[in-house]
Chain A
Amino acid sequence: DAGVTQSPTHLIKTRGQQVTLRCSPKSGHDTVSWYQQALGQGPQFIFQYYEEEERQRGNFPDRFSGHQFPNYSSELNVNALLLGDSALYLCASSLVATSSYNEQFFGPGTRLTVL
């Protein structure tokens, strides 16, 4: 049973560029959440996708956008990269976005460095 996978593992970009990160959820899961984890900090919620729609969003600017495909995989896009966007980006999948409790399974993350 494949867990949550993310690609790429590492990425280096320069300021102003755009980046796309990818996530495949755990088999059977239909919901994907994205988190940003800056160095030395805990993860911060970016947004969650369910049924190909953004269901909830954290305190992140519109430069951060996403997409969910019919096969439940997801992409995180960041435009106009800033140095402060350098972080580990974590994807987490779960089953059914609106249940009272749904355990989130995390992927290994993508390390983004903005120069």
Chain B
Amino acid sequence: AQTVTQSQPEMSVQEAETVTLSCTYDTSESDYYLFWYKQPPSRQMILVIRQEAYKQQNATENRFSVNFQKAAKSFSLKISDSQLGDAAMYFCAYRRSGNNDMRFGAGTRLTVKP
């Protein structure tokens, strides 16, 4: 079974600073996708960034980037120049290619201090 682990229940960062959220996963598959979702108090899950397992290059979306270590089964999210609007729950998720069952971690609550 595929599992996703987020070992940091809470993280805090100063505005304009950089923070890294950790995620590890367990799978025996070789073809899969990894995601980071943001869930603000409004509850709506928003896709932040995704990574295809077959791609060696780490994905980047503006201030958000990932460090994908396939052998170590690690998928961390780096947020640069943190903004107050980045405060939210962040969920790491895994989905096997061709499968519809997306597995989520327990989440990390990010606080941004002004």
**CB within 8 Å of B: which residues of A?**
33, 35, 40-45, 48, 55-56, 58, 88, 90, 92, 97-98, 100-101, 103-109, 111
Please measure, in the bound complex, the distance between the C-alpha atom of A74 and the C-alpha atom of B9, giving whole angstroms.
33
B66 at the binding interface (Cβ < 8 Å): no
Known contacts A90-B45, A101-B33, A108-B43; A45/B106 CB under 8 A: no
Pairwise interchain contact B52-A101, C-beta atoms closer than 8 A:
yes
Please measure, in the bound complex, the distance between the C-alpha atom of A46 and the C-alpha atom of B10, giving whole angstroms.
27
Please measure, in the bound complex, the distance between the C-alpha atom of A45 and the C-alpha atom of B104, giving whole angstroms.
9
Please measure, in the bound complex, the distance between the C-alpha atom of A108 and the C-alpha atom of B102, giving whole angstroms.
18
B28 at the binding interface (Cβ < 8 Å): no
Across the interface, name the chain A residue whose C-beta is closest to B4: A42
Across the interface, name the chain A residue whose C-beta is closest to B42: A108
Please measure, in the bound complex, the distance between the C-alpha atom of A39 and the C-alpha atom of B93, giving whole angstroms.
17
Q: A33, A40, A42 — which one has the most chain B CB atoms within 10 A of its CB? A: A42
Chain B residues within 8 Å of chain A by Cβ, number: 24
Pairwise interchain contact B45-A106, C-beta atoms closer than 8 A:
yes
Known contacts A42-B91, A109-B43; A97/B105 CB under 8 A: no
Please pick, from B4, B43, B50, B105, the residue contacting A88 in the complex, using a CB distance under 8 A: B43
Please measure, in the bound complex, the distance between the C-alpha atom of A42 and the C-alpha atom of B3, giving whole angstroms.
12
Pairwise interchain contact B100-A55, C-beta atoms closer than 8 A:
yes
Q: Which residues of A contact B101 (CB under 8 A)?
A: 45, 56, 58
Q: Closest CB-CB distance, B99 to chain A, in whole Å?
A: 7
CB proximity to A under 8 Å, residues B32-51: 33, 37, 42-47, 50
Q: Which residues of B contact A101 (CB under 8 A)?
A: 33, 50, 52, 97
Please pick, from A43, A92, A98, A111, the residue contacting B98 in the complex, using a CB distance under 8 A: A98
Q: Which residues of A contact B33 (CB under 8 A)?
A: 101
